[in-house]
């Protein structure tokens, strides 16, 4: 688990760095750095389960917002026939950016939740 968390900590820092050219880096850099920090706490065996739960709640609520907002994931899926997400982002296609952001939130939720589940299995 230590390697898992060190790897994700480094990846989340890299994801945060990639947000520098994003239209809203002030939102995404802190979100990714929080996930990186929580994984690093796990790596150093100083886990913060309450903080992880709070982060999962924040990420999950934001993901739900992106799911149902105008030009969100549902619009991408229903109105734009789930078009390719790896094309270049254009201001005329905000549903692509919102769907990508939804995916980033999903990754953070899964990684942090995995750690919490592993904790429960250890203590059982």
For residue range 24-49, list pLDDT tens digits in order.
899 999 999 999 999 999 999 999 99
Residues 6 or more apart whose Cβ sits within 8 Å of residue 4: 114
Residue predicted with more confidence, 21 or 53: 53
Calpha distance 46→30 (Å, rounded)? 20
What are the phi and psi torsion angles at 81 (to 5°)? 50, 40
For residue range 51-80, list pLDDT tens digits in order.
999 999 999 999 999 888 887 766 766 665
What's the average model confidence in pLDDT over 96-119? 91
Helix (H, G, I), strand (E, B) or coil at 83: coil
Calpha distance 59→20 (Å, rounded)? 20
Domain that holds residue 26: 2-123
Number of folded domains in the chain? Answer: 1
């Amino acid at each position: 688990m230590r390697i898992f968390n060190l790897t994700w900590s480094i990846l989340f820092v890299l994801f945060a760095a990639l947000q520098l050219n994003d239209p809203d880096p002030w939102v995404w850099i802190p979100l990714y750095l929080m996930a990186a920090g929580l994984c690093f706490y796990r790596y150093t065996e100083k886990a913060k389960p309450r903080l992880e739960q709070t982060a999962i709640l924040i990420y999950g609520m934001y993901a739900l917002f992106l799911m149902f907002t105008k030009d969100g994931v549902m619009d991408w899926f229903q109105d734009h026939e789930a078009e390719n997400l790896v094309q270049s982002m254009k201001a005329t296609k905000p549903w692509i950016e919102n769907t990508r952001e939804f995916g980033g939130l999903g990754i953070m939720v899964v990684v942090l939740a995995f750690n919490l589940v592993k904790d429960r299995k250890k203590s059982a």
